[in-house]
Structure 1
Amino acid sequence: MELLDIQGSVTPEESRTHIRVPLELHEGCGRLNVRFEYAPKNLEDRERALELLKESYDLYILPEQREQAVARADRHLPLKNLITLSFDGPDGYRGACHRHDEVQELFLASGEASPGLMPGRLEAGEWNVTLSLHCIVTATCEYRLRAWTSEREESA
């Protein structure tokens, strides 16, 4: 049964923030399935990427080391958007998937779960999927989050 299918768009100003997405889980399911995707992954504008790197060097690198950092800036290209997921059930934290993949197929079940998630009983009630917007470097980044249940625990 489909629980949720949402789409959204985020911007660089939303970097280092979170989007909490509630979903209601009904009793009787054996598996919670999630598909998350976002795009674009890479900032293709090289000049803009170098501007962003220089701004970060001004903030985070000692003045005497900045020239060397700028000379080696290409090592950090392409810059990438990064959005990760974490899960909370009615009884608390159920894990996090801090992956760099722009498409993720994840699941939770009583006997097994995707790496980073904790298997266990799928309690009925309010669950939350949290999207952590670590870094958005493109002008906009589109995402889609889908969640659905299965009656039985399926093998992965």
Structure 2
Amino acid sequence: MSAQEEVLFQQTLMLTELDNQQHKKIKIFLDQDYEALHIAFSYNPQEVPKELAIRVIEETLPQYDWEKNLQAMDFLPLQNLVTMSLAYEGEYLGCRHNKETQQEILISEKESSWGFIPQKVSSGQWEIQLNLHCVQSEVTVELVVKGVLSK
């Protein structure tokens, strides 16, 4: 039995340091049931350019450097970090909070990717939340959601 995938949502987001420590919610309404959801999520760059990273760290250090005399170089490389959470009809289904810049996430009733609760992929309101833990340079996020139909 082969499966067929249908693109349900595709978006490229451009982030800047103004998005740092924010959450971006992306609502997707499914008008039918699917066997599974396949979510491809990626972002780049992971590493903040060195000159910019040093400036950001130097601006932040006074908040934490009471007696230690720390240097910005002690904290390099500085990394952007974007993760993803998922909900269905307002019910939290899990998250993938790790530093992988390219992720393939599968959601189905029988099994789901690490960090997510297995869930029947029913019609209704789905929500992807991008968790922008650290965005200190321009970052491009690619998101593609496909519905898997059994054939």
In 2: Cα distance, 1:25 partner to 1:11 partner? 30
- 2:41 pairs with 25, 32, 36, which one? 36
Q: Could you say which structure has the higher strand fraction?
A: 2
- TM-score w.r.t. the length of structure 1 is 0.86
2:3 counterpart residue number:
none
- Aligned-pair Cα RMSD in Å: 1.4
1:141 counterpart residue number:
139
Identity of paired residues, percent?
Answer: 25
Task: Please say if residues 31 and 107 of structure 1, whose CA atoms lie closer than 8 Å, have aligned partners that are also in contact.
Answer: yes
AA partner of residue 64 (structure 1): E
Q: Could you say which structure has the higher helix fraction?
A: 1
1:107 counterpart residue number:
106
- 2:18 pairs with 3, 6, 13, which one? 13
- Compute the displacement of 1:91 (Å): 5.4
Deviates more, 1:22-31 or 1:107-116: 22-31
Q: What pairs up with 1:1-156 in 2 under 5 angstroms?
A: 1-44=6-49, 46-59=50-63, 61-65=64-68, 67=69, 69-70=70-71, 73-90=72-89, 92-138=91-137, 140-152=138-150
- TM-score w.r.t. the length of structure 2 is 0.89
Structure 1: runs of 5+ lacking an equivalent: none
Q: Secondary structure at the match of 2:34?
A: coil
In 2: Cα distance, 1:150 partner to 1:18 partner? 27
In 2: Cα distance, 1:119 partner to 1:22 partner? 19
Q: Secondary structure at the match of 1:53?
A: helix
Task: Please say if residues 3 and 24 of structure 1, whose CA atoms lie closer than 8 Å, have aligned partners that are also in contact.
Answer: no
In 2: Cα distance, 1:91 partner to 1:16 partner? 22
In 2: Cα distance, 1:4 partner to 1:151 partner? 15
In 1: Cα distance, 2:149 partner to 2:10 partner? 19
Deviations 1:17-68 (A, max 9, x none): 1110011223331100000111111113x23212211222112x14222x1x
Q: Secondary structure at the match of 2:87?
A: strand
Between the two proteins, the alignment pairs up a number of residues equal to 145
- Summarize the Cα distance change of 1:22–1:88 in structure 2 as closer, same or farther, 3 Å threshold: same
